[in-house]
Copies of this chain bind each other. A is one copy, B any other.
């Protein structure tokens, strides 16, 4: 299913920037930093990019995978809807190539702390990705 169909299926108008965002993020299969999205989509006004990202987060197409040093990494949601966001996955950042990816886990990670009710858990792991390990 291509980008326009995905948008239609979820009741969103098919616009150039939405298709471009989905394609840009689909290619890489990794989380993209805002700065890179901005570059790739520099044809569009940055306000439009900003607002489009808001909409697509709200509709459950994408999510913020990581905020680090002022840069925000966005990733495609493979299992989220506008209502339910499943986050049984880990965000992994490679210290060498700076790539960020979503890793899905078989078993959800649980955590319980006395007196506090925990609703969501986000996990960010850092290390060396498989590609960079081979390169060294």
Of the stretches A15-23, A39-47, A74-82, A118-126, the one at the interface is: A118-126
A65 to chain B, nearest CB (A): 12
Are A121 and B111 CB-contacts (below 8 A) given A67-B67, A130-B116?
no
Which residues of chain B come closer than 8 Å to A95, judged between CB atoms? 119
Chain A interface size range? 20 to 34
Are A121 and B118 CB-contacts (below 8 A) given A67-B68, A113-B90?
no
Which residues of chain B come closer than 8 Å to A117, judged between CB atoms? 127-128, 133
A61 interfacial by beta-carbon distance below 8 Å: no
Specify the chain B residue showing the minimal Cβ separation from A128: B117
- Bound together, the chains give a CA A133 to CA B121 distance in angstroms of 18
Complex copy number for this chain: 2
Check B115 against A125 for contact (C-beta < 8 Å). Answer: no
User: Which single member of B70, B92, B103, B118 contacts A70 (CB below 8 Å)?
Assistant: B70
Are A127 and B120 CB-contacts (below 8 A) given A70-B70, A92-B113, A113-B90?
yes
A residues near B (Cβ < 8 Å) are 67-70, 90, 92, 95, 103, 109, 111, 113, 115-130, 133
